[in-house]
Structure 1
Amino acid sequence: MTAVGDIRGTTHDRRAVISVLRRLRAPDGQSNPFPLWAELRSMGDVVPAPWGGYFITGFEACSQVLRGRNWLVPDFAWQERQPDAERWHAPATFEMSSKLSRLNAPAHTSQRRSLGNPFDRQTIEDMRPEIAAHTTRLLDDLEERLRTHGEADFVATVSEKLPIHTVGRWLALPAEDYAHILDMTHRQVHAQELLPTKSDLAVSEEATGQIRAFFTELVRGRRAHPGDDVVSDWIRHWDEQFPDDRAAADRIVYDLTMFITIASLETTATLLSVTVAMLLQNLAQWDWLRGHPEHVDDAIEEALRYDPPIHLNSRIAADDTVLAGVSIAKDSMVHVLFGAANHDPRRNESPQTFDILRGGAHLTFGGGAHYCLGAALARLEAQTLLTQLLNRFATLRPASDLTYAPRMVFRRVTSLKVTT
């Protein structure tokens, strides 16, 4: 691998990097990370992390890492090679290390092939009417709350409910368990933060135990009473791969079902909230889009670029390599900063301007073997919601700013008050 384009190396000012990270975790940094991304990017496209490894800030360098075959995810094998391997044995961390996003070839290849393209064009079209119908029901509830109370929390009323219903119907999860699944997901995700505290890990450990119990029982029940549903199909597929080991088949089905469920909730909910919030903060674009609905998809892509639901993902150098002129040793960890990359002015001019006609580029869904398998579904949910919202709520306005959970990896909008 060679350096990417004409871009700079690194800074070694550890205190400056720590300062940016601290401010990114603070409330002001959560609500407005854009100048902090620019500050970190000004230190170089490859910036040493205070604890070892590197932050990757530039668009081209991040793209190269995400798409390059010699960049791996930190799987079990890598974790066991580390001198501090014990840090990876926290139950919540260990649990996620067996999921699709933390697998390399050949295990990753095998599981992805078993899934095929779960959201191909025909599947998306088949799901469209149900998503549209449920979106209508949620917006009916929003309308009633606005009529009764004068304002409503868009996140609690709409954004968080559409994704769980969508994936829940697809996997045939019990509707009465939707709220419980959401709650477990919100608590489990702390283990996937960049530097989780002991209290974060304790919260995640409890949630992980509950998630494990829920999805283990789900797979057990689906095996006992198979039906015409996705999970039952996976059981049949993996029984063929492991004809003499049903326990092995069930473990893989559990991993797939659990991962796809929790991976599709907060990320999509954040996309829905951010898209609506950014348009309401730019009312001229909101009003223009109402008259030009053919550009709804452009608005969604700009929201994905502007404030991605995931701000950071990690990769491992499979070999000694050079990235953006910086030598990186085998097994070194790099952290791809999606937000910083999407706001790289060398790729997107005036990146802090929200412009639905930008036609720019983003890396929000990743790239290469680990490209987000739910990207088409997330886009469909956002498209359906935004189209209906523009048609029904011409005078919708923000009643408060977005509020965010204090995280650096998974972005979660906790509240967006709206009024008319």
Structure 2
Amino acid sequence: MGVTATPSSDRRASASLFSRLRTARGQEDPFPIYEELLSRGEVGPAPWGGSFVTGFAMCDQVLRSRDWLEPDKRWRERQESGTRWNASSSREMSNTLAALNPPDHTRARRAAGTFDRATVERIGRSVSRTTDQLLSTLAERLRDGEADFSALVSEELPVATIGDWLGLPPADWPRLRELTHDQVFTQELLPSASQLAASDAATAELRAYFTSLVKDRRAHPGEDPVSRWIQSWDAVEPDRDKADEAVYFLVLFVLLAALETTATLLTTMTLLLVENPARWDLVADRPDLVPAFVEETLRYDPPTHVISRVAAADCVLGDMQIRKDEMVHLLVGAAHRDPAKHREPDVFDPLRPPAHLAFSGGIHYCLGAPLARLEAQTLLRKLVRRLPRLTLVRRPSMAARVAFRRPLNLDVALA
């Protein structure tokens, strides 16, 4: 197969499509734009430089391959000044687990541990109690008319789950949730200057909060994950200051990963449930389909639509030449609608075999995937069992983002 250069006309065409993604209409429904991008081939030129990938198989290949790296600290330091990679929030994120490459990633992942069965069961009991409480509050509000499911349930369950597990004071949860929503802008595809400023400020406040937390847990250890992470890092890092900083970056990563995307998953899942009465009835009649409904939600409209990687060496991707250090954006939101992977990809079908990239892949497969699935499945089971069928009052508004989806509201009422 021949390797092609990138005609300027192709990059201009991509720029036109990506500019539509950044409009309110594009953020509400990006899938027609993704379809156009898919029709142009699996790999295309990104308008700001680098490339993007839309095909499912190729996205999966990149995520699993050791030939593609995270844009880590050293990569970010090599970027031109004035780019988003030089922002203080971006530099801070370059030290977290999600931005590390081996061997740093291997070391940090080993210290983090995993959500084993016993841990998931313990957290599951807390998730069940919290879900019951939140649905009771929702039911009370619904007696007076419509209610915002996102504000009352989707935003509350993840912060209560991770806050309780980490041992964070409940009084701090609302502020931590607000900071998370601002911090994520530094991980967006094309953040504005004002968004980066908000992310920088949020990151600074989160750093102050969690470095203080780690210092307190070192002085007063307990049976919580932060105390255990301190022990794990002490075993491999003799410098206590470096160990504490590693624990801080791990706690920061866990909070950011646990709140933002899980809240979006819960809202999107519930939107898909309430916008179609047949879906509610299907899950109510067949609770065994709950896990499949969650997986199909993750395929149909995942919380994260873009995952970025950089080439470890010069290579060919599809029919395009990719240079070392060049960035490739994997449009997983488009890949999930790839007809080469899924029959009738625009149809929401919980009966189809699950196959998606919502939790990334390879060595960077999402550490918190079991926790996100636990929260979503618990909520869906209890929702259809405890409440009468709900109906959608109005379509939700969407945050001004491309990579990280976030419905700002989900207004529902009793059917």
Quickly name the TM-score band, shorter chain normalised.
over 0.9
Q: 1:238: which partner in 2? A: 233
Once the two structures are overlaid, the 10-residue window that deviates more, 378-387 or 18-27, is: 18-27
Q: 2:41: which partner in 1? A: 44
In the alignment, residue 22 of structure 2 is paired with which amino acid?
A: R
Looking at structure 2, the residues matched to 196 and 145 of structure 1 have their Cα atoms a distance apart, in angstroms, of 36
Matched residue SS, 1:264: helix
CA contact (8 A) 1:285 1:356 kept: no
In the alignment, residue 413 of structure 1 is paired with which amino acid?
A: P
Does residue 124 in structure 1 map to residue 120 in structure 2?
yes
Q: Cα gap change, 1:134/1:86 in structure 2, threshold over 3 Å: closer, same or farther?
A: closer
Q: 2:12: which partner in 1? A: 15
Alignment deviations for residues 249-292 of structure 1 (CA, whole Å, 9 cap, x no partner): 01000000011011110100111111110121221121121000
Looking at structure 2, the residues matched to 170 and 291 of structure 1 have their Cα atoms a distance apart, in angstroms, of 33
| 1:145 pairs with one of 107, 130, 141 | 141
CA contact (8 A) 1:321 1:328 kept: yes
Matched residue SS, 1:265: helix
Matched residue SS, 1:165: helix
CA contact (8 A) 1:403 1:413 kept: yes
Q: 1:133: which partner in 2? A: 129
Deviation at 1:394, TM superposition (A): 2.8
Matched residue SS, 1:394: coil
Matched residue SS, 2:235: helix
Looking at structure 2, the residues matched to 331 and 39 of structure 1 have their Cα atoms a distance apart, in angstroms, of 27
| 1:357 pairs with one of 351, 373, 382 | 351
Q: Which residues of 2 match residues 196-215 of structure 1 at below 5 A?
A: 196-215=191-210
CA contact (8 A) 2:280 2:389 kept: no
Q: Cα gap change, 1:86/1:32 in structure 2, threshold over 3 Å: closer, same or farther?
A: closer
Identity of aligned residues (%): 52
Q: Cα gap change, 1:10/1:303 in structure 2, threshold over 3 Å: closer, same or farther?
A: farther
CA contact (8 A) 1:215 1:257 kept: yes
Does residue 113 in structure 1 map to residue 113 in structure 2?
no
Alignment deviations for residues 194-223 of structure 1 (CA, whole Å, 9 cap, x no partner): 122211111111111111111111111111
Looking at structure 1, the residues matched to 41 and 88 of structure 2 have their Cα atoms a distance apart, in angstroms, of 35
Q: Cα gap change, 1:365/1:403 in structure 2, threshold over 3 Å: closer, same or farther?
A: same
Q: 1:186: which partner in 2? A: 181
Matched residue SS, 1:413: coil
Deviation at 1:25, TM superposition (A): 1.6
Q: 1:77: which partner in 2? A: 74
Deviation at 1:323, TM superposition (A): 1.5
Matched residue SS, 2:408: strand
**Which consecutive unaligned segments of at least 5 residues does structure 1 have?**
none
Question: Which of structure 1's runs of 4+ aligned residues deviate more than 6 A?
Answer: 8-11
In the alignment, residue 106 of structure 2 is paired with which amino acid?
A: T
**Which consecutive unaligned segments of at least 5 residues does structure 2 have?**
none
Looking at structure 1, the residues matched to 254 and 340 of structure 2 have their Cα atoms a distance apart, in angstroms, of 34
Looking at structure 1, the residues matched to 176 and 81 of structure 2 have their Cα atoms a distance apart, in angstroms, of 32
CA RMSD of superposed structures (Å)? 1.7
Q: 2:318: which partner in 1? A: 324
Deviation at 1:84, TM superposition (A): 4.5
Deviation at 1:232, TM superposition (A): 0.5
Looking at structure 2, the residues matched to 29 and 51 of structure 1 have their Cα atoms a distance apart, in angstroms, of 18
Looking at structure 2, the residues matched to 86 and 33 of structure 1 have their Cα atoms a distance apart, in angstroms, of 25
In the alignment, residue 130 of structure 1 is paired with which amino acid?
A: S
Looking at structure 2, the residues matched to 240 and 85 of structure 1 have their Cα atoms a distance apart, in angstroms, of 39
Deviation at 1:83, TM superposition (A): 4.6
CA contact (8 A) 1:9 1:44 kept: no
CA contact (8 A) 1:63 1:367 kept: yes
CA contact (8 A) 1:9 1:45 kept: no
Alignment deviations for residues 376-402 of structure 1 (CA, whole Å, 9 cap, x no partner): 110000000000000012321111112
Q: 2:152: which partner in 1? A: 157
Looking at structure 2, the residues matched to 9 and 415 of structure 1 have their Cα atoms a distance apart, in angstroms, of 44
Q: 2:304: which partner in 1? A: 310
Matched residue SS, 2:268: helix
Q: 1:229: which partner in 2? A: 224
User: What is the TM-score with the length of structure 2 in the denominator?
Assistant: 0.96
Deviation at 1:305, TM superposition (A): 0.3
CA contact (8 A) 1:268 1:309 kept: yes
How many pairs were matched up? 412
Looking at structure 2, the residues matched to 55 and 9 of structure 1 have their Cα atoms a distance apart, in angstroms, of 14
Q: 2:54: which partner in 1? A: 57
User: What is the TM-score with the length of structure 1 in the denominator?
Assistant: 0.95
Matched residue SS, 1:322: strand
